[in-house]
Amino acid sequence: MTDDDLLRYSRHLLLDEIGIEGQQRLLEARSLVIGAGGLGSPVALYLASAGVGRITLVDHDTVSLTNLQRQIAHDMHSLERPKVESAAARMTALNPGVQVRALARKADAPLLEAEVPHADVVIDCTDNFATRHLVNAACVRHGKPLVSGAAIGFDGQISLYDSRARTQPCYACLFPPDSGFEDVACATMGVFAPLVGIVGSLQAAEALKLLAGIGEPLAGRLLMLDGRRMQWSEIAVHRDPDCTVCGG
């Protein structure tokens, strides 16, 4: 750790739970962020600012004017630019010491098969069930922890699915692929601008805790936020022995 690092991360170093050892773990960590929109923006910026050494950012979309109400990694100069390139520029401007890989590609099965094995943590910031299930299946296959978040309207949720522990559930235990859940797009339902910031910041916090080896992870618990009342609720999530992804 350089003198500049000691100064940049001094507020982390002052925390007994993190200190030099925990910060060094962050500097050596590899993260995979799927989605560079509403949730991915705060996740990417906080991972970069906190000093996660290598961050791979995946998103096939480009920035549109409707994104700027909530996707804080982008601005007017980013319009029509790939979201990963826009976000990567903000991340490296914030912290040039981190290595950012910007993959302007869809998070399909071949890409996930190539990228997930190399990540210490995967953060799912997507907005559709099909991609979430692909990401979850890849994390289960390769035994990688997954931080999953969602936000629509005034409602948000977040959990950590840790496939390294055989007793822990995966995303499909709670939301089975054949359950008939329908995607609800913010383009038709809308989304409260700060909501994605709240959920995305929590995703970043869970990822940083896991990478630094501190605190109690959110595994086995689903947090749900009613943004109208600003009220959190929590339910326990158990592994489904009949889960088609991790069960049996």
Digit-coded pLDDT (tens) for 118-171: 999 999 999 999 999 999 999 999 999 999 999 999 999 999 999 898 889 999
Catalytic residues: 186
Q: Over 70: is that where the pLDDT of 55 sits?
A: yes
CATH number for the domain whose boundaries are 10-236: 3.40.50.720
CB count in 10 Å sphere of residue 87: 32
Q: What residues are paired with 223 via a beta bridge?
A: 158, 234
Angle, alpha carbons 212-216-220 (nearest 5°): 120
Q: So what's the pLDDT on residue 185?
A: 59
Block residue for tokens 């009342």? 229
pLDDT band at 107 (very low <50, low <70, confident <90, very high): very high
pLDDT above 70: percentage of residues in the chain: 96
CB count in 10 Å sphere of residue 131: 19
Hey, what amino acid is at 33? V
Model pTM score: 0.95
pLDDT band at 182 (very low <50, low <70, confident <90, very high): low
pLDDT digits (tens, 9 = 90+) for 25-47: 999 999 999 999 999 999 999 99
Averaged pLDDT score across all residues of the chain: 95
